[in-house]
Amino acid sequence: MNKDEILRKSREQKEDEGMIHADNSGRRYGFIGLTIMFAAHVILVLFFGGNFAVPMSLWCAFTGAECFGKYKANSRKSDLFCGFVLCFAAAVFFLSYLLWDLLNDGVRI
Structural Rg of the chain based on CA atoms? 21
What is the Cα–Cα distance from 100 to 20, expressed in whole angstroms? Answer: 41
- Residue 36: the pLDDT is 92
CB atoms within 10 A of CB 91: 14
pTM: 0.69
Which among 76, 77, 80 has a CA at the least distance from the CA of 64?
Answer: 80
Mean pLDDT of the chain: 83
- Residue 3: the pLDDT is 76
Instruction: Report the chain (109 residues): mean pLDDT per 10 consecutive residues.
Output: 74 71 79 89 85 87 90 89 95 90 64
- Could you state, in order of their start, the residue ranges of all structural domains in the chain? 3-105
- Residue 107: the pLDDT is 54
